[in-house]
Structure 1
Amino acid sequence: MSNLSTTSEEILASAQKLIVAGGYNGFSYADIAAVVGIRKASIHHHFPSKVDLVRTLVLRYRESAEASMAELEGNLPEPLELIQTYAGHWARCIEDASFPFCVCALLASELPALPEEVAVEVRAFFRSLSAWLASVMERGQQQGSLNISGAPRVEAEAFMATIHGAMLSARAYGTPDVFATILGPTLQRLKPV
Protein backbone atom coordinates (compact mmCIF):
# COMPACT_ATOMS: atom_id res chain seq x y z
CA MET A 1 0.00 0.00 0.00
CA SER A 2 1.30 3.48 -0.77
CA ASN A 3 2.49 5.78 1.98
CA LEU A 4 -0.20 7.93 3.48
CA SER A 5 0.11 11.50 4.67
CA THR A 6 0.68 12.29 8.32
CA THR A 7 -2.92 13.47 8.59
CA SER A 8 -4.18 10.22 7.09
CA GLU A 9 -2.06 8.27 9.57
CA GLU A 10 -3.47 10.34 12.47
CA ILE A 11 -7.01 9.73 11.23
CA LEU A 12 -6.37 5.97 11.00
CA ALA A 13 -4.78 5.85 14.46
CA SER A 14 -7.73 7.73 15.93
CA ALA A 15 -10.23 5.47 14.16
CA GLN A 16 -8.45 2.38 15.46
CA LYS A 17 -8.61 3.57 19.07
CA LEU A 18 -12.26 4.51 18.65
CA ILE A 19 -13.14 1.13 17.12
CA VAL A 20 -11.37 -0.74 19.92
CA ALA A 21 -13.27 1.39 22.44
CA GLY A 22 -16.72 1.18 20.86
CA GLY A 23 -16.87 -0.81 17.64
CA TYR A 24 -17.65 0.16 14.07
CA ASN A 25 -20.80 2.10 14.90
CA GLY A 26 -19.32 3.58 18.08
CA PHE A 27 -17.64 6.52 16.39
CA SER A 28 -18.22 9.17 13.76
CA TYR A 29 -16.09 11.53 11.71
CA ALA A 30 -16.97 14.21 14.29
CA ASP A 31 -15.25 12.09 16.97
CA ILE A 32 -12.13 11.74 14.83
CA ALA A 33 -12.15 15.45 13.98
CA ALA A 34 -12.19 16.29 17.70
CA VAL A 35 -9.29 13.94 18.45
CA VAL A 36 -7.11 14.85 15.47
CA GLY A 37 -8.00 18.55 15.53
CA ILE A 38 -9.26 18.87 11.97
CA ARG A 39 -12.60 19.50 10.30
CA LYS A 40 -14.86 16.63 9.21
CA ALA A 41 -14.47 17.82 5.62
CA SER A 42 -10.74 17.18 5.90
CA ILE A 43 -11.38 13.60 6.93
CA HIS A 44 -13.69 13.16 3.91
CA HIS A 45 -10.86 14.47 1.73
CA HIS A 46 -8.62 11.61 2.91
CA PHE A 47 -11.33 8.97 3.30
CA PRO A 48 -14.55 9.80 1.41
CA SER A 49 -16.64 7.43 3.55
CA LYS A 50 -16.46 5.55 6.81
CA VAL A 51 -16.30 2.34 4.76
CA ASP A 52 -13.18 3.65 2.97
CA LEU A 53 -11.61 4.61 6.28
CA VAL A 54 -12.24 1.32 8.08
CA ARG A 55 -11.42 -0.80 5.03
CA THR A 56 -8.07 1.01 4.75
CA LEU A 57 -7.48 0.63 8.49
CA VAL A 58 -8.09 -3.13 8.42
CA LEU A 59 -5.99 -3.60 5.28
CA ARG A 60 -3.06 -1.74 6.86
CA TYR A 61 -3.57 -3.60 10.14
CA ARG A 62 -3.28 -6.92 8.26
CA GLU A 63 -0.23 -5.74 6.33
CA SER A 64 1.42 -4.66 9.58
CA ALA A 65 0.60 -8.00 11.24
CA GLU A 66 2.00 -9.90 8.25
CA ALA A 67 5.21 -7.84 8.38
CA SER A 68 5.51 -8.52 12.11
CA MET A 69 4.98 -12.25 11.57
CA ALA A 70 7.67 -12.28 8.88
CA GLU A 71 10.05 -10.42 11.19
CA LEU A 72 9.37 -12.90 13.99
CA GLU A 73 10.06 -15.78 11.62
CA GLY A 74 13.46 -14.26 10.83
CA ASN A 75 14.35 -13.64 14.48
CA LEU A 76 12.79 -16.62 16.23
CA PRO A 77 12.94 -19.79 14.17
CA GLU A 78 11.65 -22.09 16.94
CA PRO A 79 7.86 -22.64 16.77
CA LEU A 80 7.37 -22.60 20.55
CA GLU A 81 9.20 -19.27 20.79
CA LEU A 82 7.05 -17.86 17.99
CA ILE A 83 3.83 -18.89 19.74
CA GLN A 84 5.05 -17.58 23.11
CA THR A 85 6.20 -14.28 21.58
CA TYR A 86 2.87 -13.80 19.80
CA ALA A 87 0.97 -14.45 23.05
CA GLY A 88 3.41 -12.23 24.95
CA HIS A 89 2.79 -9.37 22.55
CA TRP A 90 -0.91 -9.39 23.40
CA ALA A 91 -0.25 -9.87 27.11
CA ARG A 92 1.91 -6.69 27.11
CA CYS A 93 -0.62 -4.72 25.05
CA ILE A 94 -3.41 -5.68 27.44
CA GLU A 95 -1.27 -5.10 30.54
CA ASP A 96 -0.16 -1.58 29.59
CA ALA A 97 -3.51 -0.79 27.89
CA SER A 98 -1.63 0.41 24.80
CA PHE A 99 -3.69 -1.84 22.57
CA PRO A 100 -6.08 -3.85 24.72
CA PHE A 101 -7.97 -5.60 21.94
CA CYS A 102 -7.34 -6.80 18.38
CA VAL A 103 -9.26 -4.44 16.11
CA CYS A 104 -10.10 -7.29 13.73
CA ALA A 105 -11.38 -9.50 16.55
CA LEU A 106 -13.66 -6.71 17.66
CA LEU A 107 -14.86 -6.07 14.10
CA ALA A 108 -15.40 -9.82 13.60
CA SER A 109 -17.91 -9.72 16.44
CA GLU A 110 -19.84 -7.18 14.36
CA LEU A 111 -19.43 -9.01 11.04
CA PRO A 112 -23.14 -9.46 10.24
CA ALA A 113 -23.66 -5.69 10.47
CA LEU A 114 -20.46 -4.54 8.74
CA PRO A 115 -20.40 -3.24 5.19
CA GLU A 116 -19.20 -6.01 2.87
CA GLU A 117 -16.06 -4.09 1.85
CA VAL A 118 -14.94 -4.04 5.49
CA ALA A 119 -16.06 -7.62 6.17
CA VAL A 120 -13.88 -8.86 3.28
CA GLU A 121 -10.81 -7.26 4.86
CA VAL A 122 -11.62 -8.61 8.32
CA ARG A 123 -11.93 -12.14 6.91
CA ALA A 124 -8.63 -11.67 5.04
CA PHE A 125 -6.93 -10.78 8.33
CA PHE A 126 -8.20 -13.95 10.00
CA ARG A 127 -7.21 -16.12 7.02
CA SER A 128 -3.71 -14.63 7.09
CA LEU A 129 -3.24 -15.06 10.85
CA SER A 130 -4.66 -18.58 10.74
CA ALA A 131 -2.35 -19.58 7.85
CA TRP A 132 0.70 -18.27 9.72
CA LEU A 133 -0.24 -20.00 12.97
CA ALA A 134 -0.96 -23.24 11.07
CA SER A 135 2.48 -23.11 9.44
CA VAL A 136 4.08 -22.59 12.85
CA MET A 137 2.07 -25.47 14.32
CA GLU A 138 2.98 -27.73 11.41
CA ARG A 139 6.71 -26.97 11.75
CA GLY A 140 6.48 -27.53 15.49
CA GLN A 141 4.76 -30.86 14.95
CA GLN A 142 7.36 -31.97 12.39
CA GLN A 143 10.29 -30.88 14.58
CA GLY A 144 8.76 -32.21 17.77
CA SER A 145 9.08 -28.73 19.31
CA LEU A 146 5.32 -28.32 19.86
CA ASN A 147 3.00 -30.79 21.48
CA ILE A 148 -0.11 -30.71 19.31
CA SER A 149 -2.75 -33.39 19.29
CA GLY A 150 -4.79 -32.42 16.24
CA ALA A 151 -4.21 -31.22 12.72
CA PRO A 152 -2.02 -28.08 12.61
CA ARG A 153 -4.83 -26.03 11.05
CA VAL A 154 -7.26 -27.03 13.81
CA GLU A 155 -4.64 -26.31 16.50
CA ALA A 156 -4.02 -22.90 14.90
CA GLU A 157 -7.71 -22.05 14.93
CA ALA A 158 -8.04 -23.19 18.56
CA PHE A 159 -5.01 -21.14 19.60
CA MET A 160 -6.31 -18.07 17.78
CA ALA A 161 -9.73 -18.49 19.41
CA THR A 162 -8.09 -18.84 22.82
CA ILE A 163 -6.06 -15.64 22.31
CA HIS A 164 -9.12 -13.66 21.23
CA GLY A 165 -11.34 -15.21 23.89
CA ALA A 166 -8.79 -14.38 26.57
CA MET A 167 -8.74 -10.77 25.31
CA LEU A 168 -12.51 -10.63 25.60
CA SER A 169 -12.46 -12.09 29.10
CA ALA A 170 -9.75 -9.66 30.23
CA ARG A 171 -11.94 -6.84 28.95
CA ALA A 172 -15.09 -8.24 30.54
CA TYR A 173 -13.47 -8.66 33.96
CA GLY A 174 -11.51 -5.43 33.70
CA THR A 175 -8.21 -7.02 34.61
CA PRO A 176 -5.28 -7.96 32.36
CA ASP A 177 -4.38 -10.93 34.61
CA VAL A 178 -7.31 -12.87 33.19
CA PHE A 179 -5.57 -13.01 29.79
CA ALA A 180 -2.55 -14.88 31.19
CA THR A 181 -4.73 -17.07 33.40
CA ILE A 182 -6.75 -18.28 30.42
CA LEU A 183 -3.82 -18.59 28.02
CA GLY A 184 -1.41 -20.25 30.49
CA PRO A 185 -2.75 -23.81 30.23
CA THR A 186 -2.77 -23.63 26.42
CA LEU A 187 0.84 -22.48 26.28
CA GLN A 188 1.82 -25.16 28.80
CA ARG A 189 0.06 -27.86 26.77
CA LEU A 190 1.94 -26.84 23.61
CA LYS A 191 5.35 -27.37 25.24
CA PRO A 192 6.93 -30.67 24.20
CA VAL A 193 6.90 -33.40 26.82
Structure 2
Amino acid sequence: MTPATGTADLILACAQTLIVAGGYNGFSYADIAKVVGIRNASIHHHFPAKADLVRALVARYRMDAADGIAGLERHVTGPVAQLQAYTAYWKACIAEVHSSICVCALLAAEIPVLPDEVAWEVKAHFRELSAWLASVLERGERDGSLKLGAPAKVEAEIFLATVHGAMLSARAYRDGKIFGSIVDPIVARLVR
Protein backbone atom coordinates (compact mmCIF):
# COMPACT_ATOMS: atom_id res chain seq x y z
CA MET A 1 0.00 0.00 0.00
CA THR A 2 1.23 3.47 -0.81
CA PRO A 3 2.10 5.49 2.29
CA ALA A 4 -0.54 8.10 3.05
CA THR A 5 0.31 11.59 1.95
CA GLY A 6 -1.91 14.60 1.52
CA THR A 7 -2.18 14.09 -2.22
CA ALA A 8 -2.53 10.31 -1.98
CA ASP A 9 -5.31 10.73 0.58
CA LEU A 10 -7.14 13.17 -1.70
CA ILE A 11 -6.79 10.76 -4.62
CA LEU A 12 -8.09 7.84 -2.54
CA ALA A 13 -11.02 9.86 -1.19
CA CYS A 14 -11.95 10.98 -4.69
CA ALA A 15 -11.65 7.43 -6.04
CA GLN A 16 -13.95 6.16 -3.28
CA THR A 17 -16.58 8.77 -4.14
CA LEU A 18 -16.33 7.90 -7.82
CA ILE A 19 -16.58 4.15 -7.15
CA VAL A 20 -19.68 4.70 -5.01
CA ALA A 21 -21.14 6.75 -7.87
CA GLY A 22 -20.26 4.46 -10.76
CA GLY A 23 -18.22 1.39 -9.86
CA TYR A 24 -14.73 0.32 -10.85
CA ASN A 25 -15.08 1.08 -14.54
CA GLY A 26 -17.09 4.25 -13.93
CA PHE A 27 -14.10 6.54 -13.49
CA SER A 28 -10.68 7.29 -14.89
CA TYR A 29 -7.55 9.04 -13.72
CA ALA A 30 -8.70 12.04 -15.77
CA ASP A 31 -11.86 12.21 -13.62
CA ILE A 32 -9.78 12.18 -10.43
CA ALA A 33 -7.34 14.76 -11.81
CA LYS A 34 -10.22 17.09 -12.60
CA VAL A 35 -11.82 16.79 -9.15
CA VAL A 36 -8.58 16.92 -7.14
CA GLY A 37 -7.00 19.59 -9.34
CA ILE A 38 -3.84 17.71 -10.26
CA ARG A 39 -2.40 16.18 -13.41
CA ASN A 40 -2.79 12.52 -14.36
CA ALA A 41 0.97 12.12 -13.96
CA SER A 42 0.63 13.03 -10.28
CA ILE A 43 -1.87 10.23 -9.79
CA HIS A 44 0.41 7.77 -11.60
CA HIS A 45 3.24 8.87 -9.29
CA HIS A 46 1.25 7.64 -6.27
CA PHE A 47 -0.63 4.79 -7.97
CA PRO A 48 1.01 3.58 -11.21
CA ALA A 49 -2.12 1.76 -12.39
CA LYS A 50 -5.83 1.90 -11.60
CA ALA A 51 -5.60 -1.55 -10.01
CA ASP A 52 -2.93 -0.20 -7.63
CA LEU A 53 -5.19 2.70 -6.69
CA VAL A 54 -8.29 0.61 -6.05
CA ARG A 55 -6.32 -2.10 -4.24
CA ALA A 56 -4.88 0.56 -1.93
CA LEU A 57 -8.34 2.05 -1.45
CA VAL A 58 -9.86 -1.30 -0.49
CA ALA A 59 -6.89 -2.13 1.77
CA ARG A 60 -7.43 1.18 3.57
CA TYR A 61 -11.17 0.55 3.69
CA ARG A 62 -10.47 -2.84 5.30
CA MET A 63 -8.22 -1.22 7.91
CA ASP A 64 -10.91 1.37 8.67
CA ALA A 65 -13.49 -1.41 9.00
CA ALA A 66 -11.17 -3.33 11.34
CA ASP A 67 -10.74 -0.18 13.45
CA GLY A 68 -14.52 0.28 13.55
CA ILE A 69 -15.05 -3.31 14.64
CA ALA A 70 -12.35 -2.98 17.29
CA GLY A 71 -14.17 0.11 18.55
CA LEU A 72 -17.43 -1.82 18.75
CA GLU A 73 -15.68 -4.57 20.68
CA ARG A 74 -14.20 -2.03 23.13
CA HIS A 75 -17.16 0.29 23.61
CA VAL A 76 -20.34 -1.66 22.94
CA THR A 77 -21.23 -4.33 25.47
CA GLY A 78 -22.96 -7.51 24.43
CA PRO A 79 -23.68 -9.25 21.15
CA VAL A 80 -27.16 -7.77 20.66
CA ALA A 81 -25.91 -4.23 21.18
CA GLN A 82 -22.98 -4.88 18.82
CA LEU A 83 -25.27 -6.10 16.02
CA GLN A 84 -27.54 -3.11 16.59
CA ALA A 85 -24.58 -0.70 16.58
CA TYR A 86 -23.26 -2.23 13.37
CA THR A 87 -26.59 -1.83 11.59
CA ALA A 88 -27.07 1.66 13.07
CA TYR A 89 -23.73 2.66 11.55
CA TRP A 90 -24.99 1.70 8.11
CA LYS A 91 -28.36 3.37 8.67
CA ALA A 92 -26.49 6.61 9.31
CA CYS A 93 -24.27 6.11 6.25
CA ILE A 94 -27.22 5.46 3.99
CA ALA A 95 -28.62 8.80 5.07
CA GLU A 96 -25.45 10.44 3.66
CA VAL A 97 -25.06 10.64 -0.11
CA HIS A 98 -21.25 10.27 -0.21
CA SER A 99 -21.03 7.03 1.76
CA SER A 100 -24.40 5.46 1.15
CA ILE A 101 -23.12 1.99 0.43
CA CYS A 102 -20.20 -0.27 1.29
CA VAL A 103 -17.46 0.15 -1.32
CA CYS A 104 -16.69 -3.56 -1.08
CA ALA A 105 -20.34 -4.45 -1.72
CA LEU A 106 -20.25 -2.47 -4.94
CA LEU A 107 -16.94 -3.95 -5.98
CA ALA A 108 -18.09 -7.48 -5.10
CA ALA A 109 -20.75 -7.16 -7.79
CA GLU A 110 -17.91 -6.50 -10.23
CA ILE A 111 -15.60 -9.37 -9.14
CA PRO A 112 -15.63 -11.03 -12.59
CA VAL A 113 -14.08 -7.93 -14.19
CA LEU A 114 -11.84 -6.74 -11.35
CA PRO A 115 -8.07 -7.21 -11.43
CA ASP A 116 -7.04 -10.15 -9.23
CA GLU A 117 -5.31 -7.98 -6.62
CA VAL A 118 -8.45 -5.87 -6.15
CA ALA A 119 -10.72 -8.93 -6.05
CA TRP A 120 -8.46 -10.46 -3.37
CA GLU A 121 -8.84 -7.36 -1.16
CA VAL A 122 -12.62 -7.32 -1.61
CA LYS A 123 -12.90 -11.02 -0.72
CA ALA A 124 -10.66 -10.47 2.32
CA HIS A 125 -13.00 -7.72 3.53
CA PHE A 126 -15.97 -10.07 3.39
CA ARG A 127 -14.06 -12.93 5.05
CA GLU A 128 -12.99 -10.66 7.93
CA LEU A 129 -16.43 -9.16 8.41
CA SER A 130 -18.09 -12.58 8.29
CA ALA A 131 -15.62 -13.96 10.86
CA TRP A 132 -16.37 -11.07 13.23
CA LEU A 133 -20.12 -11.50 12.82
CA ALA A 134 -19.80 -15.24 13.45
CA SER A 135 -17.88 -14.53 16.67
CA VAL A 136 -20.58 -12.07 17.82
CA LEU A 137 -23.30 -14.61 17.05
CA GLU A 138 -21.42 -17.40 18.83
CA ARG A 139 -21.02 -15.20 21.92
CA GLY A 140 -24.71 -14.35 21.82
CA GLU A 141 -25.71 -17.97 21.53
CA ARG A 142 -23.44 -18.87 24.48
CA ASP A 143 -24.75 -16.11 26.72
CA GLY A 144 -28.36 -16.76 25.70
CA SER A 145 -29.02 -13.32 24.20
CA LEU A 146 -29.27 -14.63 20.63
CA LYS A 147 -31.02 -17.65 19.14
CA LEU A 148 -29.52 -19.05 15.96
CA GLY A 149 -31.40 -21.14 13.45
CA ALA A 150 -28.19 -22.35 11.80
CA PRO A 151 -24.50 -22.56 12.73
CA ALA A 152 -22.97 -19.17 13.55
CA LYS A 153 -20.91 -19.12 10.35
CA VAL A 154 -24.03 -19.63 8.24
CA GLU A 155 -26.00 -17.06 10.22
CA ALA A 156 -23.11 -14.61 9.78
CA GLU A 157 -23.28 -15.03 6.00
CA ILE A 158 -27.07 -14.58 6.07
CA PHE A 159 -26.69 -11.44 8.18
CA LEU A 160 -23.92 -10.08 5.95
CA ALA A 161 -25.91 -10.76 2.78
CA THR A 162 -29.00 -9.15 4.28
CA VAL A 163 -27.15 -5.99 5.33
CA HIS A 164 -25.45 -5.58 1.96
CA GLY A 165 -28.59 -6.50 0.04
CA ALA A 166 -30.51 -3.92 2.05
CA MET A 167 -27.93 -1.32 1.01
CA LEU A 168 -28.56 -2.20 -2.62
CA SER A 169 -32.32 -2.05 -2.16
CA ALA A 170 -32.13 1.34 -0.46
CA ARG A 171 -29.99 2.56 -3.34
CA ALA A 172 -32.27 1.08 -6.01
CA TYR A 173 -35.37 2.66 -4.48
CA ARG A 174 -33.51 5.83 -3.46
CA ASP A 175 -35.07 5.42 -0.04
CA GLY A 176 -32.84 5.07 3.02
CA LYS A 177 -35.77 3.82 5.12
CA ILE A 178 -35.80 0.60 3.10
CA PHE A 179 -32.52 -0.39 4.76
CA GLY A 180 -34.02 -0.45 8.26
CA SER A 181 -37.20 -2.16 7.11
CA ILE A 182 -35.07 -5.04 5.79
CA VAL A 183 -32.34 -5.20 8.46
CA ASP A 184 -34.33 -4.56 11.65
CA PRO A 185 -36.34 -7.81 11.30
CA ILE A 186 -33.18 -9.88 10.82
CA VAL A 187 -31.79 -8.50 14.07
CA ALA A 188 -35.12 -9.03 15.83
CA ARG A 189 -35.26 -12.64 14.56
CA LEU A 190 -31.93 -13.35 16.27
CA VAL A 191 -32.70 -11.70 19.63
CA ARG A 192 -34.20 -13.94 22.33
Aligned to 1:13: 13
CA distance in 2, matches of 1:34, 1:90: 30
- Listed as ranges, the gaps of 5+ residues in structure 2 are none
Q: Does 1:132 align with 2:132?
A: yes
Mapped partners of 1:2, 1:67: distance in 2: 19
Q: Report the alpha carbon displacement of residue 71 of structure 1 after superposing the two structures with TM.
A: 1.2
Q: May I ask how many residue pairs the two structures share in their alignment? A: 192
Q: Matches of 2:98 and 2:120 in 1, distance apart?
A: 26
Q: Give the whole-Å Cα distance in 2 for the aligned partners of 1:60 and 1:167.
A: 21
TM-score scaled by length of structure 1: 0.97
Q: Does 1:161 align with 2:171?
A: no
Q: Matches of 1:77 and 1:59 in 2, distance apart?
A: 28
Distance in 2 (alpha carbons) for counterparts of 1:176 and 1:128:
26
Gapped runs of 5+ residues in structure 1?
none
The equivalent residue for 2:64 is: 64
How many Å separate the matches in 1 of 2:96 and 2:110? 25
Matched, 1:142 2:142: yes
Give the match for residue 52 of structure 2. 52
Partner of 1:152: 152
Amino acid at match of 2:58: V
Once the two structures are superposed, residues 4-58 of structure 1 have per-residue CA deviations (whole angstroms, 9 ceiling, x without a partner) of 1011000000000100110000000000011111111100001000000000000
Displacement of 1:146: 1.3
Please give the alpha-carbon distance, in whole angstroms, between the structure 2 residues aligned to 1:17 and 1:32. 10
Percent identical across equivalent pairs? 58
> What TM-score, normalized to structure 2?
0.97
Which residue pairs with 1:23 in the alignment? 23
- Pairwise CA RMSD: 1.1
Show CA shifts across 1:137-156 (max 9, x none). Answer: 10011011112211000110
Secondary structure of the structure 1 residue equivalent to 2:146: coil
Determine the structure 2 residue equivalent to 1:103: 103
